[in-house]
């Protein structure tokens, strides 16, 4: 475990809310507005942390545990994700599966908390969230399996360390569909535009946002920070694949990955500005398409 | 060496998936046109070390015929028939995509078991040929519109062509042109047939033609 790994975890913890900030700023600029300051997500989280939480009488301990357990799962997942090719703090065989299911656990407790409120809207949101994430999961796991095949390792750190320029020249035909699949997973899991509109406040069309309507104060702060962290984690997976800079120097690799993250946030903002949300019936098709892209990559790697 | 070939073949597979997932007929036609252009590029890539005038002529013919003539012919039929989308196919788009995703490993498995007389130009050739052929067959049986079925036939033929160009370095030109002429005539005749079906029945749903009616 090098110093760089610890620095990368700190970087993730500190810079994660910057990602939604950049996305919102990009959208505002494209729409011709100035938009909120880049650090607005930090201000929001700090403001919410100072407030006190309000709990409905119909909720139980599940509702209170949801945000805490969700954030804890995402914090553990942060320890597993490599950034810029250098190893993560924790790396052991098959930590890929643990990573996928830590994200799954975070989603599961959010869904439980939403169901615990007894609100019909939140139940609808929970149902949609579970449906779409069940379809996004094969795409993520098959995609990671394809990378695992190429680098013959089942641990995220060596998998991503092996994705240098050499890997791209050797199997670009397989990596290109894989990058597409991971990008779709990134957008879907983070409730981004073609799947879900993060800014909508119409309950009938909301997916992720509707589940957190009843949370307030520090709980909401945990959820907001957790979703920024999830954006960062899945973004790091996409960037680690698309930006194959593996010079060996921690600084150059880290800087390239950081630039990649900023670019990814800008691209997300551009996608959100240029695309309309898909109809709910069309979303499964997009996610199945992503799974198929992952399958293509996996089959090409297995060959 | 075979990077270009591989890229073209993977693009061929991806266009196949787009064909399975989309519902607009005009987009189907464009996808099959793109496949035609990819086949022309594949011909060039297969012979990139011994590029002769023969190969060039063949590639240009394929590109003009499959990339321009067929799409033009079929989109004209589409305009006269005034149909835009494939509504309610026999197999839904999501299930089609899943079946396509399952067909790909099957194609790879099949090709691994197939004894070949000579090594192909790339190890991807045979599986992609199988996949494209099966995909064409699947489109023919799973879609309602006569036009989509013609496109399925074209995709099937594309798969057979990939098999030929990847496996046999040197097919006599007469054979290639003969096949192209056959396909051209077939598409031409089917285009006219669709036109007449549409004029006679006001739709091009092939499943409704299964029963013979006595109109008098």
> In angstroms, rounded to a whole number, what is the distance separating the alpha carbons of residues A103 and A110?
11
Model confidence band, residue A258 (pLDDT cutoffs 50, 70, 90): very high
What value does the mean pLDDT take over residues A48-62?
92
Give the nearest chain B residue to A139 (CA atoms). Answer: B101
Q: What is the DSSP string of B58-90?
A: HHHHHHHIIIIIHHHHHHHHHHHHT--B--S-S
pLDDT of residue A139: 94
pLDDT tens track for B91-122: 889 999 999 999 999 999 999 888 887 778 88
pLDDT at A200 over 90: no
Give the nearest chain A residue to B18 (CA atoms). Answer: A289
- A75/chain B closest Cα distance in angstroms: 34
Which residues of chain B have a CB within 8 Å of the CB of A295? 101, 104-105
pLDDT of residue A52: 92
- B142/chain A closest Cα distance in angstroms: 17
Which residues of chain B have a CB within 8 Å of the CB of A169? 3
Model confidence band, residue B211 (pLDDT cutoffs 50, 70, 90): low
pLDDT at B206 over 50: yes
* Interface probe with B: pick from A146, A285, A291, A297, most Cβ of B within 10 Å: A285
pLDDT of residue B213: 63
Give the nearest chain B residue to A168 (CA atoms). Answer: B3
> In angstroms, rounded to a whole number, what is the distance separating the alpha carbons of residues B157 and A32?
50
Question: Which tokens sit at B135?
Answer: 């995909």
pLDDT tens track for B21-73: 888 889 999 999 999 999 999 988 888 777 788 888 888 988 999 999 989 98
Q: Which of B3, B21, B104 sits opposite A296 (nearest CB)?
A: B104
Question: Which tokens sit at A57?
Answer: 């009488």
pLDDT tens track for A27-52: 999 999 998 999 999 999 999 999 99
> In angstroms, rounded to a whole number, what is the distance separating the alpha carbons of residues B56 and B62?
10
pLDDT of residue A104: 94
pLDDT of residue B81: 79
Which residues of chain A have a CB within 8 Å of the CB of B123? 303
First to last CA, chain B: 65
> In angstroms, rounded to a whole number, what is the distance separating the alpha carbons of residues B127 and A18?
45
pLDDT of residue A276: 84
Cα torsion at A227, A228, A230, A232 (round to 10°)?
170
Give the nearest chain B residue to A303 (CA atoms). Answer: B108
Q: What is the DSSP string of A112-164?
A: HHHHHT--HHHHHHHHHHHHHHHHHHHHHHHHHHHHHHHHT--SHHHHHHT-S
pLDDT of residue A204: 67
Mean pLDDT value across chain A: 90
> In angstroms, rounded to a whole number, what is the distance separating the alpha carbons of residues A14 and A99?
20
Buried/exposed A7-24: b ≥16 CB within 10 Å, e otherwise: ebbebbeeebbbbbbbbb
Q: Which of B3, B13, B97 sits opposite A285 (nearest CB)?
A: B97
Contact (CB<8Å) B10/A284: no
pTM for the complete prediction?
0.89
pLDDT of residue A289: 93
pLDDT of residue B166: 79
Contact (CB<8Å) B98/A300: no
pLDDT of residue A264: 95
Question: In percent, how much of chain A has pLDDT > 90?
Answer: 61
Question: Which tokens sit at B206?
Answer: 């092939």
pLDDT of residue A113: 94
Backbone angles phi, psi at B24, to 5 degrees: -80, 130
* Interface probe with A: pick from B1, B8, B14, B20, most Cβ of A within 10 Å: B14
Chain pair A-B, CB pairs under 8 angstroms = 51
Q: Which of A132, A99, A130 is nearest to A114 (CA)?
A: A130
List of E strands, chain B: none
DSSP letter for A48, please. H
Give the nearest chain A residue to B13 (CA atoms). Answer: A296
pLDDT of residue A27: 93
Q: Which of B3, B94, B123 sits opposite A285 (nearest CB)?
A: B94
Give the nearest chain A residue to B93 (CA atoms). Answer: A285
Mean pLDDT value across chain B: 85
Q: Does A180 touch chain B (CB under 8 A)?
A: no
What value does the mean pLDDT take over residues A172-181?
90
pLDDT of residue B1: 43
Give the nearest chain B residue to A180 (CA atoms). Answer: B14
> In angstroms, rounded to a whole number, what is the distance separating the alpha carbons of residues B104 and B106?
5
What value does the mean pLDDT take over residues A266-283?
89
> In angstroms, rounded to a whole number, what is the distance separating the alpha carbons of residues A136 and B211?
43
B51 contacts: CB under 8 Å, gap ≥ 6: B44
Q: What is the ipTM of this complex?
A: 0.83
Q: Does A174 touch chain B (CB under 8 A)?
A: yes
From chain B, which residues contact A within 8 Å (Cβ)? 3, 6-7, 9-10, 13-14, 17, 21, 93-94, 97-98, 100-101, 104-105, 108, 123-124, 127
What value does the mean pLDDT take over residues A100-128?
92
């Amino acid at each position: 475990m090098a110093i760089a790994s610890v620095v990368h975890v700190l970087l993730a913890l500190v810079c994660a809310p910057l990602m939604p900030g950049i996305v919102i700023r990009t959208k505002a600029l494209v729409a011709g507005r100035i938009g909120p300051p880049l650090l607005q997500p930090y201000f929001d989280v700090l403001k919410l942390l100072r407030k006190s939480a309000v709990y409905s009488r119909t909720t139980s301990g599940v509702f209170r545990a949801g945000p805490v357990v969700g954030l804890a799962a995402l914090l553990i997942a942060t320890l597993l994700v490599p950034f810029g090719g250098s190893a993560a703090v924790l790396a052991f065989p098959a930590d890929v599966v643990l990573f996928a299911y830590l994200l799954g656990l975070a989603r599961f407790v959010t869904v439980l908390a939403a169901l615990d409120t007894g609100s019909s809207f939140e139940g609808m949101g929970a149902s949609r969230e579970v449906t779409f994430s069940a379809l996004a999961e094969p795409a993520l796991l098959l995609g990671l399996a394809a990378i695992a095949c190429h680098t013959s390792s089942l641990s995220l750190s060596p998998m991503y360390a092996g994705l240098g320029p050499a890997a791209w020249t050797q199997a670009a035909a397989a990596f290109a569909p894989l990058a597409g699949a991971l990008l779709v997973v990134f957008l879907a899991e983070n409730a981004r535009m073609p799947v879900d509109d993060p800014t909508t406040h119409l309950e009938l069309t909301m997916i992720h946002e509707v589940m957190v309507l009843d949370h307030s104060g520090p709980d909401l702060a945990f959820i907001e920070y957790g979703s920024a962290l999830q954006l960062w984690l899945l973004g790091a997976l996409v960037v680690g694949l698309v930006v194959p800079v593996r010079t060996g120097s921690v600084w150059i690799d880290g800087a390239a990955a950081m630039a990649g993250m900023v670019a990814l946030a800008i691209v997300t903002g551009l996608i959100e500005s240029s695309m309309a949300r898909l109809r709910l019936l069309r979303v499964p098709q997009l996610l199945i398409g992503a799974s198929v892209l992952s399958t293509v990559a996996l089959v090409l790697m297995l060959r | 060496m075979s990077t270009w070939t591989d890229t073209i073949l993977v693009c061929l597979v991806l266009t196949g998936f787009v064909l399975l997932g989309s519902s607009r007929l005009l987009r189907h036609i464009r996808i099959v046109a793109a496949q035609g252009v990819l086949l022309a590029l594949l011909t060039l890539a297969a012979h990139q070390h011994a590029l002769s005038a023969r190969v060039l002529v063949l590639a240009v013919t394929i590109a003009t015929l499959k990339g321009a003539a067929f799409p033009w012919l079929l989109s004209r039929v589409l305009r006269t028939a005034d149909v835009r989308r494939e509504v309610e196919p026999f197999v839904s788009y999501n299930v089609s995509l899943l079946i396509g995703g399952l067909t790909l490993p099957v194609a790879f498995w099949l090709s691994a078991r197939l004894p070949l007389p000579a090594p192909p130009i790339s190890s991807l050739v045979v599986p992609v040929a199988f996949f494209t052929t099966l995909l064409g067959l699947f489109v023919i049986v799973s879609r309602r519109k006569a036009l989509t079925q013609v496109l399925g036939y074209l995709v099937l033929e594309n798969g057979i062509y990939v098999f030929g160009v990847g496996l046999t370095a040197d097919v006599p030109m007469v054979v290639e042109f003969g096949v192209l002429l056959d396909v051209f005539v077939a598409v031409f005749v089917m285009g006219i047939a669709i036109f007449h079906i549409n004029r006679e029945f006001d739709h091009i749903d092939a499943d409704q033609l299964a029963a013979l009616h006595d109109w008098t």
